A and B are shown apart, each in its own frame.
Chain A
Amino acid sequence: MINIEQLNFIRKTVTKYLMEDYLPFPVNKETCYEWANGLNIKKGGSTILYTGCSYQLAELGKKFDEILPLLPKFKSIEKFSPLAKIFLKPKNERVNKILRNVASILRKAEVDFGYLYEEEPYSGTILLELGMLDEFREYAKKLVNFFNSHEVKKIITVDPHTHYTLFRIKEMLDWNVDIVNYFQLLKNVKIKGEGTYVFHDSCLYSRFLGMRDLIREVIVSSGIILKENELVTGKETSMCCGSPLAPINKEISEKIAKTRAEALKSVSSKVLLACPFCYANLSPYVESYDFAEVVKVE
């Protein structure tokens, strides 16, 4: 059920790549920042929009989970990483659209923010979520130093895993920074959406970060109709998409996703969500949309 060799491989290699390159696996960095090309977002600044490369790497991460059981068997796998850093650049227009839309919404809300482009680091969430806490803490120190050296005082996150991870870093280390999620900045901006959906809550937003009601308010005020069912979308009953288990056991992860998708479909055929990992895990089984891809600023 649990492949320890696989977990040890993640522990060793992900930590190595993070410490060397601020990304969990070798990939062309343009993958992470190409969404911002042409938007004229200033580089850096005391307030930054921070994607943590989560949306950009979620689909690639899913592919990584698929080949993960094989990777520890290739002893010389690391030799390929310089090539991967140049050539591994998955096309992801959907993700680029989502992130561009988030930036547009924030601009409409008159939020002044910059972006770190090719320097933007990954948050370290995989180490935290797998319980590799010593390695996570080591990377977190590096991350805090990085943000401090860039004089970052406020970070705007766009996904629940990055948001939660930064909170945990603040909890562990002495870090004077303000962390805010983009949903929390949408009070003064009119967003337009339409259609009827069932909302699949991110576990972290809903149960760990206290944003369940806020997100629903933002969605409903856009004009989107949400269908609810106490046994499917309640705070205590809405289930995980299974994604956090994928690096440990892909079969269990997929079974959870299928079961969750079936439950959601019993409420509405179209699912709305706000997490790239939920999307990656659920979209093969149910018609799924990210909030930021179905709304427009007026």
Chain B
Amino acid sequence: MSDWDIAIKRGVEHNVPRVFNVLREHPYLEELARKVREGKLEVLSNLDYYIEMTMKSVEKIGGKAYFAENSQQAREIVGKIVGTGKRVVLGKSMVAYETGIRKYLQSLGNEVWETDLGELLIQLADEPPSHIIAPAVHMTRERIRELIKEKLGVDPGDKHEDIVKVAREFLRQKFLTADIGITGANAVAADSGSIVLVENEGNIRMSSVVPPVHISITGVEKILPNLEYALYEALVQAAYAGLYPPTYINVTSGPSSTGDVEQKRVSPAHGPKEFHLILVDNGRRKANEDSILREALLCIRCGRCHFHCPVYRALDGKWGDPPYSGPMGAMWSAIVYNDYKPALLCSHAGNCREVCPMKINIPKVLEYLKWKYFNGR
């Protein structure tokens, strides 16, 4: 068996039964998933209106909001905020990867560190991610041990716990001395301008609270009508990703603030003094105009479809254009990179549709993308 075959087998054996158990033990999650779909459809049916509402809400709570038409604009906006010669810590963000933020900031002379363990391994190996939420799922722990030994000069040993310990010690010093923290957003609440992030490691908390500046970069499809729906999204994402309850859910509404002096709300307090939200289009609004492709915008990036897909499991994590892999990645490669070719590899097994919390008819979308490919659309 190849390294990939060993790694994906272990990943599937850990993840698949765990998600089934989570859903059995907490049956309300299916209802929450239904509500999230409903909320996302509401936003998509009036996307420009909700983008505008979100940006106004962010400004209202003391943050700055930006709209980026494409990757280049997103990079320029981030570059202007960060500048040069800074230390930047990144919480895992698909949109940051999509728009090439890490390498761009490095090219401006900044020191940039991924802080999600999987993403840090990807950075150290200089490889594309192989799964939407478990980017290093293609690496066995044996390979990870060698990688850390080679890149960080420390032999962590063979145990999962010891590997995590070495990464923790390495990253802690980066968090505490960072000038800028950049994260994505699992959901953005249009009514309050809050972003919601769900995580387990604690790196997102550190990235979004310790540095004096917090930048959140995310796609416009992450907007939900209000904070209630945005919080549901975090719960649903965590459950269908298999880590429930999530260790942390973070809500960020503008820069840090306090109301402790005569109840007047002032900013900043102990956390960041600046908060910036960048909403990225990069093909999403165009996809939203297409009644079939719109479905793909409902994806909450839980990565469950990957583990149930025979094609993803047979390939070596390289199905789709990074960071978008697997069945959802075959859809998203079309949305953000205009690449319809990955869809051709769908074997229409249908497992992805069965397990998708958003009930996206992924095989139908991929059949449509195949048709678009053959017709040069």
- A interface residues, Cβ below 8 angstroms from B: 1-2, 7, 11, 129-134, 203-204, 206-208, 230-231, 235-240, 242-245, 248-249, 252, 255-256, 259-260
Contact = CB atoms under 8 A, between A and B. Distances in A.
Interface residues of B, number: 30
Contacts of A132: 370-371, 374
Contacts of B35: none
Interface of A is mostly: helix
24 contacts: A1-B315, A2-B341, A2-B344, A11-B374, A130-B344, A131-B344, A131-B367, A131-B371, A133-B370, A133-B371, A134-B375, A203-B350, A203-B351, A208-B363, A235-B354, A238-B351, A239-B313, A239-B349, A240-B349, A245-B311, A248-B345, A249-B345, A252-B345, A256-B310
Interface string B289-323: 00000000000000000001011011100000000
A134 B371 CA distance: 8
Nearest to B9: A259
Interface string B222-238: 00000000000000000
B16 interface: yes
Interface in B332-377: 341, 343-345, 347-351, 353-355, 363, 366-367, 369-371, 373-375
Interface of B: 16-17, 20, 308, 310-311, 313-315, 341, 343-345, 347-351, 353-355, 363, 366-367, 369-371, 373-375
Nearest to B375: A134
Given A203-B348, A236-B355, A248-B345, A230 B20 contact: yes
Contacts of B369: 131
Nearest to B349: A240
Contact of A252 (B311, B370, B374, B375): B311
B345 A131 contact: no
B230 to A, nearest CB: 27
B360 to A, nearest CB: 14
A81 B5 CA distance: 42
B345 A129 contact: no
B314 A252 contact: yes
Nearest to B373: A131
A237 B20 CA distance: 11
Contacts of A256: 310-311, 313-314, 347
A237 B311 contact: no
Contacts of A131: 343-344, 366-367, 369-371, 373-374
A233 to B, nearest CB: 12
B347 A242 contact: yes
A291 to B, nearest CB: 20
Nearest to A258: B314
Contact of B347 (A206, A235, A244, A259): A244
B351 A1 contact: no
Given A204-B348, A206-B350, 4 more contacts: A11-B374, A133-B371, A207-B351, A240-B310
A240 B373 contact: no
B310 A259 contact: yes
Given A237-B16, A259-B314, A208 B350 contact: yes
Given A131-B374, A134-B375, A207-B351, A242 B314 contact: yes
Nearest to A259: B314
B126 to A, nearest CB: 22
Contacts of A231: 16-17
A159 B135 CA distance: 39
A207 B314 contact: no
B307 to A, nearest CB: 9
A1 B354 contact: no
Nearest to B341: A2
A2 B345 CA distance: 8
A260 B310 contact: yes
Given A231-B16, A231-B17, A245 B367 contact: no
A242 B310 CA distance: 8
A65 to B, nearest CB: 13
A239 B348 CA distance: 10
